[in-house]
Structure 1
Amino acid sequence: MNLPNKLTILRALMVPVYVFFMLFPAENELLFRWIACAVFCIASFTDFLDGYIARKRNLVTNFGKFMDPLADKLLVCAAMICMIPLSYLPAWYVIILISREFIISGFRLIAVEQNVVIAASYFGKFKTVSQMVMIILLILQIPALNLVTTGFVYLSLALTIISLIDYLYKNRSVLEEGGF
């Protein structure tokens, strides 16, 4: 197993660690939040790092193509789901963001059946980065950054919807050929 794939597996394994520190009731809640933030930041960095190493060293594998986006979705979705019981995000918001991930994943499955590879778009990449920044800001709950945090909440929602429309529009032939 190559280094990018190990980093991807590490990211997936960090998800329950993040959830534990984010939701476990502790005497020192602030310490646990900082640990959760550190775990999330490290896991998010592995997302960038595994892709960079895989492309630079020509280590792209079928396992990585499958597992990397799955680990990303696990991390971001788990992080956002943790925000609901803490009242940092409303459930409807998280449902919209997670629904987009399911729609795109299903869309990619249809494309694979047609031997079409759907590359990540810039909107999709910006969406991911905005969600990761939003999650970090929500974890930290810094009062002086409330306006910035709110801005990233709305930006992430907008980019989620825009990237969904962009993927579907640019790859509408996949749907047409799939009998939709």
Structure 2
Amino acid sequence: MISLTSPVETRAHGWRAGVKLGALCVATMALFAMTSLLGHVAAFAGMLALYAAPGGLFFRSGMTRLRVLWPFLAIIGLWHALTGTPGAGAVIALRLVTAVGLANLVTMTTRLSDMIGVVQWLAAPLRRAGIGTRPLELGIALVIRFTPMLAAKGAQLARAWRARSARRASWRIITPFALCAIDDAEHVAEALRARGGL
């Protein structure tokens, strides 16, 4: 899941979060069970159609957020080109883009509070057994919330590097990126402690 924001309101915003997450699980399992290249092309086209249905602004916003996948796609393409299995590489690449695209579509049209509500419902049996589920719920919320924020900070660091140097940033931004992540984690920990902790 990459994004938590949608530039436009869609009909999918009114659907129940549990239904959307359940459909996402089924679709992901179907993608991993399918081995046909033609089937994956059709699934990819269907994913693009879902993004295009609400309009051009929604489509461009969703596709922009999928650009973070290009390093993984490059590695997959290079490996399968070297091993002489381009067909298998195409299947894996299409599966990756389609699965992440569908997950991103769900997060773009679902409020974080609704997702946490689904997690709370799923964790109800654990609470009845006397197991505290608040850390799990909070952990999932933090992962969902901070993944796009960290991606945005990484993009900002890359742009700052390009503004100051003609060389590619590559591995050189890893250290400042890690420090930014640690700093954010410390601020979140302090905020949690100030509110009573877990």
TM-score > 0.5, shorter chain as reference: no
Point out the structure with max Rg over C-alpha: 2
- What TM bracket, shorter-length normalisation? 0.3 to 0.5
Structure with more relative contact order (C-alpha pairs < 8 Å, separation 6 or more): 2
